[in-house]
Amino acid sequence: MLTRLLALIFKEFLALLQDPKSRIVLIVPPLVQLLVFGYAASFDLKDIPWALYDEDRGVAARDLAAAFDGAPAFRRVATLRSEGEIVPLVDSRKVLVVVHIGARFSADMLTGAPTPVQVIIDGRNSNAALIGMNYVRSIVERYNREWLARHGGAAPPARLETRAWFNPNLESRWFFIPGIIGMLSLVTTMLVTALTVAREREQGTFDQLLVTPLRPAEILLGKALPGFLIGLVQGTLILLVATLWFRVPLLGSLPALYTGLALFLLSGVGVGLLISSLAVTQQQGLLGAFLFMVPAVILSGFATPIANMPKAVQTITLIDPLRYFLVILRKVFLEGAGFDILIPQLWPMALIGATSLALASWLFRHRMY
């Protein structure tokens, strides 16, 4: 029985790896993607193009402009001479922020009355606008504090002292790169497994497989193992790139991380085989994988927090294995978590894996006899 099984597994690996194009497709793109997406996936604004429209040109106004110029995230791309220049500049997305200092700014500042400064922000990218607005607020707040200190105003009675745990510089790359590990592992595992049975069905070789002495459970195992092992190898490679190249700190326990990865791959393989056993053609298999993968990524908390979703949608995320794995990845990487904290994330993945594998094996049999 073992030799039979080994032969089947060997055959599955051959089917996957013998075509040079398939081989390349399994190894190269995930690494390239990790590199490209690792640099691209970030909500941090590092380069905010802004324009100054200064009608006053007094000392106070120049100081305020200098405060913006001095902020590392801001890059002044235009200095305007008239109000009419604002609209085309913002419309064409050449600037995100326009700071408009009125003609009486310096004079009003010296009287001590609150002096308005108008800031226009392009809201097409709502998140960039929100972050840009926060940056503008903190620049103006610092300017106000320094002005009061120089002109003898009273300091506010309370001040905020903010610290961020686990990610002191609030780099969103540290948040996304562990997530990319999960996303890419899911994509590869699903693609490998979702097409295996469908391909044999389409080419008619599945019938031949069925008349061999192999039992359904053995066929299932033979189909499941290659996807699982490829996912494991790929996951390890990506993990190495994340820690050695991107220098994301890996603080927690590696065994806990690998237990998570194994259970996650198990559930990915299970769902992939389930889709594959339902599909009649490869196109259906691929589309089925897609119909599962896209919501699985979107609802996993990869880019947008689950806590922001409506309650009903939050309930749906409970059947998404990636949701649990992302928590594990981030907790192990950044918070240094071990097994004790991760138990609530581990068992749902095991449950999803076991259920989908059982269903897939039932479908194998069901479609056979």
Q: Which is nearer to another protein, 5 or 341 (CB)?
A: 341
Strand partners for 51: 78, 98
Q: How far is the CB of 307 from another protein (least distance, A)?
A: 7
Q: How far is the CB of 318 from another protein (least distance, A)?
A: 14
Are 51 and 76 a contacting pair, CB within 8 Å?
A: yes
Q: Which is nearer to another protein, 3 or 18 (CB)?
A: 18
Are 328 and 257 a contacting pair, CB within 8 Å?
A: yes
Q: How far is the CB of 215 from another protein (least distance, A)?
A: 26
d(CA 308, CA 227): 33
Q: Which is nearer to another protein, 97 or 263 (CB)?
A: 97
Q: How far is the CB of 48 from another protein (least distance, A)?
A: 8
d(CA 193, CA 292): 13
Q: Which is nearer to another protein, 303 or 350 (CB)?
A: 303
Q: Which is nearer to another protein, 112 or 213 (CB)?
A: 112
Are 281 and 198 a contacting pair, CB within 8 Å?
A: yes
Q: Which is nearer to another protein, 213 or 305 (CB)?
A: 305
Q: How far is the CB of 218 from another protein (least distance, A)?
A: 23
Instruction: List Cβ neighbours of 306 (8 Å cut-off, separation of 6 or more).
Output: 299, 300, 314, 317, 323
| 3-class secondary structure, 78 | strand
d(CA 191, CA 185): 10
Q: How far is the CB of 314 from another protein (least distance, A)?
A: 9
Q: Nearest to residue 352, comparing CAs of 312, 325, 326?
A: 325
